[in-house]
Structure 1
Amino acid sequence: MGGAASPVNIDVAGQVELSVVVPAYNEEQRLAPTLEAIRTHLGDSCSWELIVVDDGSADETVRVAREAAARDPRINVVVSETNRGKGHALRLGVLASYGRRVLLTDADLATPIEELDQLAKAMTEGETAAAIGSRAHPDANIEVHQSRLRELLGRMGNRLIRAVAVPGIRDTQCGFKLFDGEKARAAFADARLDGWGIDVEILQFFRRKGWEIAEVPVRWAHQEGSKVGAADYGKVLWELARLKARAVRRVDLVLGALFLLSSVLLYKNLWADLRHGYLADSLQDQNQWEWFFAVTADNVAHLRDPLFTTVQNFPDGVNLMGNTPMLGLSVPFTPVTLAFGPTVTWALVLTLGIAATAYSWYWLFARRVTENRWAAGLGGALAAFAPPMISHGNAHPNFCVLFMIPLIIDRALRVCEGANVRRDGLVLGLFTTYQIFLGEEVLLLASLGMALFALSYALARRDAARAALRPLAKGLGYALGICLVLIAYPLYGQFAGAQSYHSVLHGDSAGNSPLALVEFASRSLLGDDATADKLALNRTEQNAFYGWPLVALALALVVRLWREPLVKALAFTGAAAAILSLGQKIRIPYTDVVFPGPWKLLAHRPLFESVIEGRVAMICAPALGALVALGAGRLARSGVRANKAVGFAAIALALIPIIPTSFPTNGRPDVPHFISSGMWKKYVKPGKSLVPVPLPDPGSAEALHWQSSTGLGFSVPGGYFNGPWGPDRVGIYGASPRWTSNLFGDIRSGKPVPDIGTDWQNQARQDLDYWRAGVVVLPPQPRAPELYEAVSRLLGRPGEKVDDVWLWQM
């Protein structure tokens, strides 16, 4: 009998214990011995059936199978009229089966049928849903190898499949697999692939369902005439890619298009005039960001260090890692910047980034919060287009382009689930590394929000917290390990390299007013500039302004759904972030009452000392988005029409007032023709700088636009960046002040020209020597006559009018 297969010998009256499915295509020569070997091994050890599926063979395979079936009624033959592929054949066979367990085996029996005993034993002892044969297991016995080239290509293909489709399984393509029958029939009924990729599709189905899979080492021998070649691994990847594309739901495409359309409408005025359009509320930040994109592209194109430059703040330079050039986007966008200019990159990053952020939040909410994808889309839109995000959309892409944050949150949750801690921990580390190159302060705020959520959820679900503690600690170890390796050099440069600094001074009055949480922002449908301007640092820092209707809706949802741990955690996270955002001193509106805020506990801690505390309220946006998504999803399931009508009306009334309006633009000043024509090249020698009057600073940075729009051919002193000041290297905005730069800035702001004598002239010479000035340039501007008088007195000679500027050669 060839040895009884005792592990499958469970006698249950009237039930087929084992179904063996053999797909066959042009197997006339090998099929009869294979069927006889299976019959001999199984014998009478259990009730079994053997299903041969002919996949449209062109030879006598069907005849051989039917002759075997005529000799043994336990053999059944299923015939496909055309050749559709192994996947199609397996699906026909499994769906025709009745066995409590289902074995899949190839017609060549490269894995001997006797190995069934090992698979059955593994399923029984491990209480798993499947046991798959593995040729890649360290204990596997390869009796006959393929050719070295074929084996190498096959190994490479299998590794690629594992990496992108089924991590953790060594051999997805071995044709010898044993499944729980009901689970196998459910998986194959759901399967869509007809080719070799069905093995991976079935394993992915089992993984999604949380069904355990055991990988068992088997004996295997290459069979001449095998129909599986190394190229078939490529076919598997192609089939999986097509399956992934087909799996995209129509709602996914519609929501993605709506998010993109919404973002385009926000920036339509900028797109209408990329040559002269300037976001009206961006202060000097558009000039700064375009410069960041331009200098990164220039560094990449010339293979220079992307973390430092002397093009601005010459000769000291700028520590780019200590600033916000968003290298994670500015580097990939280098071809766009070089081909079309930094303004196009600026517009693309903002437009595509906000749309991608909305889609990312939608994906997270659909995965973790609600099954209703339209409700998840509504929550994603709120999280990405909330008033604080729109405020930063004027000027700070690092605070509104947040598509990585939902991915990081989801990966952290996967780590907590413990399915594959090492893989998920490493991916979390890679995601975190990438986010560091998009925005470190955002990552810090997101980490604070995740910590608040984790703490509150742990209190609500202590059992879940205990179960997650060990895998979380282990996964964070993996994440921290790979992250530190990748960012060690950049962080060293940021905190200890040239032009590094220790913290940025913002004062103790950068928190939100309590009124800011319930008022409307400038760019909200029901907002107005006068009200919002009184409650914010500026229009790029309207960090709250959710509006009282949305706050009221959130409170109602929390009360209605309070029993759910998720709701408790979201409520605590949002409330805690709102309170922290009030800053070190909380002022009660309409009174003189001031009392310490909880932010005081964090204000002077490392990293937190550089945070503008009002920005902590941005954490409320995804918390509110998740609440709205959950509430809308529950309403959609309600069977009471009146409840639906009232509920969705309340959501609409809460969200309509904060719908953002398009960003207004102004015409930006033209670059002086002296600069745009390249005439400056005659006056600025290598190693020298062009000194604009006044010098660029956070209040006026047009000189950065001169540079970014003309290829960064010259360096300027001063600028708009974060850099060190004083012996303690405290971070400030702009260059360390000097006598001459201060003088020019005072005159520009309206102060009279002072009585300039020898001391002023000596100081000016020292400053110009320090800046290695090649030429001093005074462009047309308000207060130009006063500035001309000051420069002429400082240098002891009149300027020379060249083209449209005044020059003083050094």
Structure 2
Amino acid sequence: MPRVTERQSSLAPTDADTTPVDTTRTDAAGPPGTVAGSSGAGSVAGAGAADGKDPAQRQTPPDADRTGRRPGWRSVLFAALAYLAAALVVTWRGWADPNGVFLGTRPGDQSFNEWMLAFDAHATTGLDNPFFTTLQNAPDGVNLMTNVGMQLPGLLLTPVTVLGSAALSYLVFITLNLVATGLAWYLVLARHVVTSRVAAFVGGLVLAFAPALVSHSNGHPHITAQWLVPFLLWQVVRLTRPGHTVRDGLVLGALVVAQFYIGLEILFLVAVGCALAALAYLLLSPRRAVREAPRTLGGLAVAGVLVAVATAYPLWMQFAGPQHRTGHPGEHDVYALKLASFAAFATRTVFGGDTKGLVANTTEEASFFGLPALLLALVAAVALWRLLVVRILVVVGVVTALLSQGSTWAWGRERTDTPAPFALLAHLPVFDSMVIARFALITTVALGLLLAIWLDRVLTATTGAGGRRLPLRLAAAAALVAGLLPMVPTPLPAQARPPVPEFVTSGAWREHVAEGRTLVPVPVDNFSSIRWGSAAVAGFAVPQGYFLAPTSPTDSTGRWGVEPRPTAALLTAVAAGTRGTAVTAADRDRAVADVRHWKADALVLPAGHPRAAALRTVLDACYGPGRQVDDVWVWDVRPLTR
């Protein structure tokens, strides 16, 4: 009786690693390694079992001798280059002028992430606290753990940021995220899940370039940085197998810590997905799950100790540190998906559809698989339903798709008052801070894995199909193309970014603002603050900014930014032409108080600002005459603030 291969058994946690199993069984209660669908007349998945040959005599699949081995370097190189080419198709408009354009539709999000990369480089070279800073929202600061830390990517990209620019680092980051995520999935799929390199490659392509990741490439690199996710998931599966519990737990713990410092939100979604998969496993195969529980829990305990030690301080910072917040601004359902979105086409795809009313914005298109892909997934699920791993993937995919609907149902473009599953979780810690649409990122993983397993079974089952091999494979290829073609991404748009004064980019600011002191851009604008700050690699502090913060010192409910100081509001109104240039004694007193509050050394006005004359009049009245330096006007307020 043939022994199930490692790769067959690795499709789902089973006892097949140590117990001989009859792989010819096709009953529904068979092990997860069983070839499914053999009884279906004309079923592609069952073609190999329907040829009348004994399974032991059937032609060996080409990759069978490589089961459990690492893919060769040539196949890895090919996959990497292919994913790189696909990533460049998506991001090439940004590469045309990295410092002159914003890539995608969310310039504010890109500006914030560029500032984060600049700050990470500043913290790395200056050995500053990477979890909290007063260089934005001076002097109160920003809790970076309650925002988007990205400490590990920022550390790795420090040479690019320092020698190039934060804008260049961002573009490298957003591009390589797609490449590395696809390659990581390819390696894990090819080594542990499928026998066909083609299936592994297609799986990596779907999982890295699905609408969810392409849409989040519009400004959310912390979401597209999923290059450790495949290894995390596989390491969790390894915990169910007999072996070195302590070693496996330590490896899992190290991966969790690394992902923690890449993007905590993705780590949370991985945990949710694993919890749902474990629950489905327990319900679908309770005896096996219970037998494996002790060693799994032992490995998780080891991992937990390592994670607790390595993340204790940043976790304290996130949940109890200065400027921490609870919840997310606005109602949960603002960012929820609609059920119809799963059958619709994403904006940046070859069949690009109208997503208005189905999602909050084009960055959150985490579903939008299109009806053809859903039908293909349905066919794959039905054909392989006997596989335990397929049933688990279906459960996880469906549940997370339902969670992404928010606290009330929305069948079409209008939301109803009928409670939906997320209503049960909406007020739990961490869940209350979730952007609900992102639960569909888990659905994307379930869909991609399902299609990779289906394609692998098709290719394996048709290996010994004789004269039917070519027609069956052509039929499968046609189905795959029909299902996935509408998901093929198109290039992200680009838009010109406002220029940053040469006074900042050249480093001339250093003669007027001490390291760590505040430079006040005029008018005081959230995005000007962070764009100027990132151009200077966070060398000076800025007032206000773009970040999540508590509503007030006594109310930790999350909100965007802070209320502007009186002088900031005054200058903004003058710049907009909604206020005159007359300045009262009270205005002057508040202006002095505000620069002292900001710990400012200088206020800086671009000489080319359309309302420069009016702003100069107001600033001269508040702080005395300014002077022109390069392409800006500077008001030195150090005598007032030191």
Using the size of structure 1 for normalisation, the TM-score is: 0.65
Check the 8 A contact 1:435/1:443 in 2, yes or no.
yes
C-alpha contact (below 8 Å) 2:587/2:622 kept by paired residues:
no
Matching residue's letter, 2:374: V
> Conserved in 2, the CA contact under 8 Å of 1:287 and 1:702?
no
Structure 1 segment 52-71 matched on structure 2, within 5 A: none
Aligned counterpart, 1:370:
194
TM-superposed CA distance for 1:391, in Å, is 0.9
Counterpart of 1:691 (choices 516, 520, 523) is 520
SS of the equivalent of 2:418 reads strand
Q: Paired residue for 1:334, among 137, 158, 161?
A: 158
Superposed CA offset, 1:360-392 (max 9, x none):
122232344321121121112111111011111
Task: Tell me which residue corresponds to 1:805.
Answer: 632
Aligned to 2:53: none
**Correspondence 1:609-620 to 2 at 5 A:** 609-620=432-443
Measured in 2, the distance between the counterparts of 1:504 and 1:417 equals 39
Separation (CA, whole Å) in 2 of partners of 1:292 and 1:802: 28
Distance 1:417 1:685, change over 3 A: closer
C-alpha distance after superposition, 1:268-317 (max 9, x if no partner): 22222223232141322222222212221122212222223222221122
Residue pair 1:387, 1:546 contacting (<8 A) in 2 also: yes
Structure exhibiting the larger radius of gyration computed from Cα positions: 1
Counterpart Cα distance in 1 of 2:454 and 2:576? 52
1:195-245 CA distances to partner (integer Å, 9 max, x unpaired)?
xxxxxxxxxx9xx99xxxxxxxxxxxxxxxxxxxxxxxxxxxxxxxxxx99
Instruction: Please list every run of 5 or more consecutive structure 1 residues that lacks an aligned counterpart in the other structure.
Output: 1-126, 129-204, 210-243
Aligned to 1:548: 371
8 Å contact from structure 2 (residues 202, 452) kept in 1: yes
8 Å CA contact retained: 2:101, 2:496: yes
Q: Deviations over 1:150-180 (max 9, x none)?
A: xxxxxxxxxxxxxxxxxxxxxxxxxxxxxxx
Post-superposition shift, 1:688?
Answer: 4.0
> Per the alignment, in what secondary structure is the counterpart of residue 549 of structure 2?
strand
- Structure 2 residue runs without a partner (length 5+): 1-17, 20-64, 638-642
| Preserved contact between residue 764 and residue 794 of structure 1 (Cα < 8 Å) | no
Larger strand proportion, structure 1 or 2? 1
Q: Residue 150 of structure 1 corresponds to which residue in structure 2? A: none
Secondary structure of the corresponding residue to residue 660 of structure 1: coil
Report how far residue 582 of structure 1 moved.
0.8
Aligned 1:598-609 pairs, distance under 5 A: 598-609=421-432
Does the Cα contact within 8 Å between 1:323 and 1:722 map onto a contact in 2? yes
Aligned in 2, Cα 1:383/1:277: closer, same or farther, shift over 3 Å?
Answer: same
Q: For residues 571 and 706 of structure 1, do their structure 2 counterparts lie closer, same or farther at Cα, with a shift above 3 Å needed?
A: same
Matched residue, 2:92 = 268
Instruction: Check conservation: 2:582, 2:618, Cα contact below 8 A.
Output: no
Question: Which whole-Å deviations, capped at 9, do the CAs of 1:452-492 have from their partners, x for residues lacking one?
Answer: 22222322222321222111111111110111011112222
Q: For residues 613 and 367 of structure 2, what CA distance do their matches in structure 1 show?
A: 42
Q: Which amino acid letter does the alignment assign opposite residue 135 of structure 2?
A: V
Cα distance change, pair 743–647 in 1 and its aligned pair in 2 (3 A): farther
CA contact (8 A) 2:185 2:207 kept: yes
Listed as ranges, the matches of 1:374-523 within 5 Å are 374-508=198-332, 509-523=334-348
Q: Which residue of 1 aligns with 2:548?
A: 722
Q: Secondary structure at the match of 2:499?
A: coil
Alignment match, 2:349: 524
Report the 3-state secondary structure (helix = DSSP H, G, I; strand = E; otherwise coil) of the residue aligned with 2:77: helix
Aligned residue runs from structure 1 range 153-168, under 5 A: none
- For 1:717, the aligned partner's letter is P
Partner residue in 2 for 1:650: 479
Q: Matched residues, percent identical?
A: 34
Task: Give matches, 1:765-780, under 5 Å.
Answer: 765-779=592-606
CA contact (8 A) 2:99 2:168 kept: no
TM-superposed deviation, 1:786: 9.1
8 A contact 2:601–2:636 mirrored in 1 = yes
Alignment partner, residue 183 of structure 1: none
Structure 1 residue 423: Cα displacement: 1.0
Structure 1 match to 2:509: 680
* 1:588 partnered with 2:411: yes
1:760: Cα distance to partner? 4.8
Amino acid corresponding to residue 670 of structure 1 in structure 2? P
Q: 2:185 aligns with which of 361, 364, 369?
A: 361
Tell me the CA shift for residue 785 of structure 1. 5.5
Equivalent position of 2:28 in the other structure: none
Q: 1:753·1:786 contact (CA, 8 Å) conserved in 2? A: no
- More displaced 10-residue stretch of structure 1: 504-513 or 784-793: 784-793
Alpha-carbon shift at residue 355 of structure 1 (Å): 0.9
8 Å Cα contact 1:279-1:664 kept in structure 2: yes
Residue range with higher mean Cα deviation, 395-404 or 547-556: 547-556
1:311-343 CA-to-partner distances (Å, cap 9, x unmatched) read 222112222333323112211222232222323
Match of 1:147 in 2: none
Q: Distance in 2 between matches of 1:565 and 1:804?
A: 66
* Number of corresponding residues: 566
Deviates further, 638-647 or 546-555: 638-647
Give the 3-state SS of the residue equivalent to 1:594 in structure 2. coil
Equivalent position amino acid for 2:346 in 1 = A
- SS across alignment from 1:516: helix
Shift of 1:608: 1.1
Aligned to 1:56: none
2:394 equivalent to 1:571: yes
Aligned to 1:167: none
In structure 1, what is the Cα distance between the partners aligned to 2:80 and 2:286?
37
The whole-number CA distance in structure 1 between the counterparts of 2:499 and 2:116 is 20
Range 464-473 or range 767-776, more displaced? 767-776
In structure 2, C-alpha distance between the alignment counterparts of 1:422 and 1:267, rounded to whole Å: 42
TM-score normalised over the length of structure 2: 0.81
Moved more, 333-342 or 655-664: 333-342
Contact 1:524 1:659 in 2 (8 A): yes
The answer to whether the Cα contact below 8 Å between 2:136 and 2:541 also exists between their aligned partners in 1 is: yes
Deviations 1:544-600, CA, capped at 9 Å, x for gaps? 211121112112222222222111111111111111001112223266743111111
| Native 8 Å contact 1:722 1:732 kept in 2 | yes
Q: Is the 8 A contact 2:522 2:604 kept in 1?
A: yes
Checking the alignment, whether the CA contact within 8 Å between 1:693 and 1:787 is kept in structure 2 is: no
Pick the aligned partner of 2:167 from 336, 340, 343.
Answer: 343
Asked if structure 2 preserves the Cα contact closer than 8 Å seen for 1:506 and 1:612, the reply is no
When residues 711 and 572 of structure 1 are mapped into structure 2, their CA distance, relative to the original with a 3 A threshold, is closer
Change (3 A) 1:258 1:670: same
> Alpha carbons of 1:620 and 1:749: their partners in 2 closer, same or farther (altered >3 Å)?
farther
Q: Per the alignment, do residues 337 and 688 of structure 1 end up closer, same or farther by CA in structure 2, a change over 3 Å counting? A: closer
Higher RCO, 1 vs 2 (CA within 8 Å, ≥6 residues apart) = 2
Does 1:313 pair with 2:137?
Answer: yes
Does the C-alpha gap of structure 1 residues 623 and 774 become closer, same or farther in structure 2, counting only changes over 3 Å?
A: same
CA–CA distance in structure 2, aligned partners of residues 553 and 787 of structure 1: 62
Residue 778 of structure 1: how far off its partner (Å): 2.6
Cα 1:605–1:740, aligned 2, differ >3 Å: closer, same or farther?
Answer: farther
Change (3 A) 1:359 1:768: same
CA distance, structure 2, for counterparts of residue 797 and residue 765 of structure 1 = 11
For 1:524 and 1:752, the matched residues in 2 are separated by: 45
Mapped to 1, the partners of 2:618 and 2:636 lie a distance apart of 12
Output the amino acid matched with 1:365: L
Aligned in 2, Cα 1:754/1:478: closer, same or farther, shift over 3 Å?
A: farther
Instruction: Indicate the SS of the match to 2:107.
Output: coil
